[in-house]
Amino acid sequence: MNFDIRMAHLFSSLDDNQVRQVMESSHISTFQDGESLFETGDEANRFFLVIGGQVKLFRVSSNGDQKIIDIIQPGNTFAEALMFMEHPIYPVCAEALGPAKIISFDCKRFLQILSQSFSVCFRIMGTMSQRLRGLIKEIDDLTLQSATTRMCAMLLRRMEEIGKSHFTLPAAKGVLAARLSMKPETFSRILQNLSSKNILNTKGNEIQVIDTELLRSLAHLESVLGLEPEVHCTLSGAKSLHSD
């Protein structure tokens, strides 16, 4: 059960003594699939570190749709930014995606430690700064890009993460669809479409990328645009299935 929290970026510059202090106010818990950690609007007096499984952060619209903001992987913290607000309120819901093991920390306690160490402060600011950047990227993905583009970018990211052209999708298709802000039907159709263009093969949750270059050019239209004039931009709707 001894997990060194210094594996997480956020804690990486704590000394042994500080780690001990932080751990004093921590709880380890396990969550079932779908179990809630907190909801939008709850008072935020703890933050979290995922040490096993996954946690999805999402918001719910009035009609019940979920928009998944992020899927937190083991070794990562979340909700730590709220610590610095006057009236900390979680802006999202969090729930376990599959069984998950999570450590939670008391915000006040952690702030005390922060006020002893500039290097930890700076590290936190670095983390927050990266998140900001990520969200900005996300916003322009959402507005500037089509569903197909988002799909391709996600596949590429995953592919480069794994390092092989054959890989497994990191979550159920429905979940990924929500992450990419599209309906499961659309997700399915786009995958189907990419497959019919011989850009990739798919079997269940397994993906085999065939034409990486084309995938890349679809992911960020700016770069290779024009390499494949037949296909470049207009690959998208189900209607173009028979177009070549």
Partner DNA sequence: TTTGGGCCTTGATTTTCATCAAATGGCGAA
Partner DNA sequence: TTCGCCATTTGATGAAAATCAAGGCCCAAA
Judged by the rule CB under 7 A, the positions of this chain that interact with DNA are: 63, 65, 146-148, 172-174, 181-189, 191-192, 202, 204, 234, 236-240
| CB 90, min distance to DNA, A | 25
3-11, 25-33, 133-141, 194-202 -> range binding a copy of itself (CB under 8 A)? 133-141
- Please state, in angstroms and as integers, the Cα–Cα distance from residue 188 to each residue in 136, 138, 154, 165, 195, following that order: 27, 22, 14, 20, 11
Is there binding between residue 227 and a copy of itself (CB under 8 A)?
Answer: no
Helix (H, G, I), strand (E, B) or coil at 87: coil
C-beta of residue 107 within 8 angstroms of C-beta of residue 45: yes
Q: Per-residue x/- mask for a copy of itself, residues 160 to 199, rule CB under 8 A?
A: ---------------------x------------------
Site residues (CB under 8 A) for a copy of itself, limited to 111-130: 111, 114-115, 118, 121-122, 124-126, 128-130
Residue 129 partner contact from DNA, a copy of itself, none using kind-dependent CB cut-offs of 5 to 8 Å:
a copy of itself
Longest dimension (CA), the chain: 66
Residues 6 or more apart whose CB falls under 8 angstroms from that of 134 comprise none
Cite the beta strand spans of the chain per DSSP E. 27-31, 36-38, 46-60, 66-72, 77-78, 93-106, 166-168, 200-203, 206-209
Is there binding between residue 92 and a copy of itself (CB under 8 A)?
Answer: yes
Is there binding between residue 65 and a copy of itself (CB under 8 A)?
Answer: yes
Indicate the angle between helix axes 147-162 and 118-144, nearest 10 degrees. 140
Residue 189 partner contact from a copy of itself, DNA, none using kind-dependent CB cut-offs of 5 to 8 Å:
DNA
DSSP 89: B
| CB 162, min distance to a copy of itself, A | 25
Helix (H, G, I), strand (E, B) or coil at 53: strand
Amino acid letter for position 135: L
Q: Which residues bind a copy of itself (CB under 8 A)?
A: 59, 61-63, 65, 67, 69, 81-86, 91-92, 111, 114-115, 118, 121-122, 124-126, 128-133, 135-140, 142-145, 181, 220-222, 225
